[in-house]
């Protein structure tokens, strides 16, 4: 078995690369350990809490006991299915802030500034504003990835944006356009009522070209001979095989599995590899380091009116919603229900937002457990640029063993300060006049939690991952000892091998990571094809004119 390009992982970036390579007439094999993404649990947007909690679709990773969160082991779902995590995620679409990418460029990822990546965001999108405003010149109109907005029929969606305005914050009609800062409609990768995953957007059209073959197998390691990647050793139907790459191997296996595969292949921190008896091909201390994530908490309010989604939280209503979706692809089942958002700055002196809100007109946990109170609503909130860093390391030299995942959440004192600010600012928003008709009392953390110490206790007990791990194969200058890949995503010290997924992010972006992960696949596909990058954009993003002196 051989092809010009071998891509490990049919996830967000992997599918995008397969599509662009296939379009250019290249032969590609995509190796994916997971199975089909067919079926209502994945394709129906409102069912998002199911696939995320099903071992059938998820690697089922957990962090090691987190020392700063009372020793809790946090869930770290990663998609093990066609479409990868884009098939089990919340479908929220956020590009990230312009300054995130400028920071990447400053950190040595030259050619990844906002002016460089904006054309790729435009190339990948088909944006549907549904008459909600927004400036189409900032958006793409004919890309494979459909981006839409929910109907925002529930009055609570408007109340959230209005409360933000009443509290003195900006309003934005498109946080993915010129102005991220403010409150406004949230965007989702949903099209014609279906989850528009990377598999639906990119992989199926790529397969139709006849240039892409998907091989169901478990990648064990990259085969490297004389300093060059020549293929991938896989376990397929119980047998070991090598799939050969005539040109290049690309790891797009996630920020957890890409560094694991590099280490199993002899690329990583020398002492760590030696400890596990792995022969060192390239001593790269940055492999697996620099692990980042977004931690968030749900600030939940009990509702004084029965207008929340809780009225559908019963078997009969769920069956009716499911049937309507199955036959018509319409109704409640056709949205992820995250339809209003907010991006704000935690204090004066910060030039761009460092707090994100997802608003949901239901008080529920990610595992699908509704709040005992019944009718309620919640805002997910947390700091966007935590200073805490963790690592992914090997448990053993056996590819079947899960890696060791240590996020080291809340290990930096400033994270506590920022998180308390998030909670207090959220409470202030829920206290505005716009919410007066709807708020009964606070469910979580609860009104009893007021002092710094009390809020810290609540964070320790209730903070959860937003499932945005990244950074473990950091992109930087080729002479940077801690960088893993250069600005063309080539693994430093090995020929014919690249990494292209969220693991190459030098620093986590503002918001959910699916959009920037797909963008990485789009941009790296041009590097793989030896094309000149798209012409730089010269759009100037909005920055609050008084950011130095004002928080809002």
Catalytic residue IDs: 468
410 is in an annotated binding site: no
Give the DSSP H or E segment for 14. Answer: helix 12-23
> In Å, how far from its chain's centre is CA 92?
9
From 445, 100, 489, select the one nearest 292 (Cα to Cα).
Answer: 100
Beta carbons within 8 Å of 128's beta carbon, 6+ residues apart: 146, 147, 148, 149, 191
322 is in an annotated binding site: no
Answer yes or no: is 89 a known binding residue. yes
- By the 8 A CB rule, do 98 and 112 touch? no
**Nearest residue to 405 via CA among 513, 277, 254, 515:** 254
CA 53 to each of CA 38, 39, 42, 60, 115: distance values in angstroms, whole numbers, following the listed order: 16, 15, 11, 8, 38
CB contact set of 316 (below 8 Å; sequence gap of 6+): none
CA distance 116 to 124: 14
Report how far residue 310's alpha carbon sits from residue 373's, in angstroms, rounded to the nearest whole number: 10
What is the distance between the alpha carbons of residues 506 and 244, in angstroms, rounded to a whole number? 30
CA distance 53 to 97: 30
How many C-beta atoms surround the C-beta of residue 447 within 10 A? 9
Residue 74 DSSP class? P
The closest of 18, 12, 424, 15 to 4, measured between CA atoms, is: 18
CA 262 to chain centre: 21
Evaluate whether 211 touches 61 at the Cβ level (below 8 Å).
no
Of 423, 363, 331, 386, the closest CA to residue 509 belongs to: 386
Length of the chain: 552
> Measuring CA to CA, how many Å separate 359 from each of 123, 157, 183, 451, 539?
29, 7, 10, 25, 29
DSSP string over 317-329: HHHHHHHHHHHHS
**Token pair of 529, please?**
């094809």
First to last CA, the chain: 58
Residue 90 annotated as lining a ligand binding site = yes
91 assigned to a ligand binding site? yes
Number of H helices, E strands in the chain: 13, 25
Backbone angles phi, psi at 61, to 5 degrees: -75, 150
For residue 33, which of 49, 61, 11 has the smallest C-alpha distance?
A: 11
Q: From the annotation, which residues make up the binding site?
A: 81, 89-92
Q: From the annotation, which residues make up the binding site for FAD?
A: 81, 89-92
């Amino acid at each position: 078995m051989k092809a010009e390009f071998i891509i490990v992982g049919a996830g967000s970036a992997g599918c995008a690369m397969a599509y662009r390579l296939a379009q250019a007439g290249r032969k590609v094999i995509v190796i994916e350990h997971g199975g089909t993404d067919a079926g209502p649990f994945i394709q129906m947007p409102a069912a998002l809490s199911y696939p995320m909690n099903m071992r059938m679709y998820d690697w089922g990773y957990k962090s090691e006991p987190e020392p700063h969160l009372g020793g809790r082991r946090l869930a770290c779902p990663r998609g093990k299915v066609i479409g990868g995590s884009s098939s089990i995620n919340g479908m929220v679409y956020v590009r990230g802030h312009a300054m995130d990418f400028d920071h990447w460029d400053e950190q040595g990822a030259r050619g990844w500034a906002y002016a460089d990546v904006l054309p790729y965001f435009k190339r990948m999108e088909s944006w549907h504003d549904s008459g909600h405003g927004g400036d189409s010149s900032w958006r793409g109109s004919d890309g494979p990835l459909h981006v839409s907005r929910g109907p925002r029929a529930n009055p609570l969606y408007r109340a959230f944006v209005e409360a933000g305005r009443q509290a003195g914050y900006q309003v934005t009609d498109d946080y993915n356009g010129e102005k991220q800062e403010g409150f406004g409609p949230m965007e989702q990768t949903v099209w014609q009522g279906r989850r528009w995953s990377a598999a639906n957007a990119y992989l199926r059209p790529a397969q139709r070209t006849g240039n892409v073959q998907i091989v169901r197998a478990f990648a064990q390691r990259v085969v490297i001979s004389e300093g060059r990647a020549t293929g991938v050793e896989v376990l397929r139907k119980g047998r070991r095989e090598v799939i050969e790459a005539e040109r290049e191997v690309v790891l797009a296996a996630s920020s957890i599995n890409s560094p694991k595969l590099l280490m199993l292949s002899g690329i990583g921190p020398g002492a760590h590899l030696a400890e596990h008896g792995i022969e060192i091909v390239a001593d790269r201390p940055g492999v697996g380091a620099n692990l980042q994530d977004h931690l968030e908490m749900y600030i939940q309010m009990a509702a004084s009116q029965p207008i929340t989604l809780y009225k559908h939280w019963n078997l009969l209503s769920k069956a009716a919603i499911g049937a309507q979706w199955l036959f018509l692809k319409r109704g409640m089942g056709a949205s992820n229900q995250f339809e209003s958002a907010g991006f704000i700055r935690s204090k004066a002196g910060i030039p761009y937002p460092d707090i994100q809100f997802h608003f949901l007109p239901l008080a529920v946990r990610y595992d699908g457990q509704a709040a005992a109170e019944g009718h309620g609503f919640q805002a997910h909130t947390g700091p966007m640029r935590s200073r805490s860093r963790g690592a992914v390391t090997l448990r053993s030299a056996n590819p079947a063993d899960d890696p060791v995942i240590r996020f080291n959440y809340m290990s930096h004192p400033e994270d506590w300060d920022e998180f308390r600010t998030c909670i207090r600012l959220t409470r202030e928003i829920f206290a505005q006049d716009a919410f007066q008709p709807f708020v009964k009392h606070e469910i979580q953390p609860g009104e009893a939690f007021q002092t710094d110490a009390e809020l810290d206790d609540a964070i320790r007990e209730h903070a959860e991952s937003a499932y945005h791990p990244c950074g473990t194969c950091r992109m930087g200058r080729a002479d940077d000892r801690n960088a893993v890949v250069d600005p063309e995503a080539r693994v430093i010290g090995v020929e014919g091998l690249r990494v292209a997924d969220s693991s190459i992010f030098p620093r986590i972006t503002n918001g959910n990571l699916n959009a920037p992960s797909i963008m990485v696949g789009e941009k790296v596909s041009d590097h793989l094809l030896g094309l000149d990058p798209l012409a730089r954009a010269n759009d100037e993003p909005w920055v609050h004119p008084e950011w130095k002196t004002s928080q809002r």
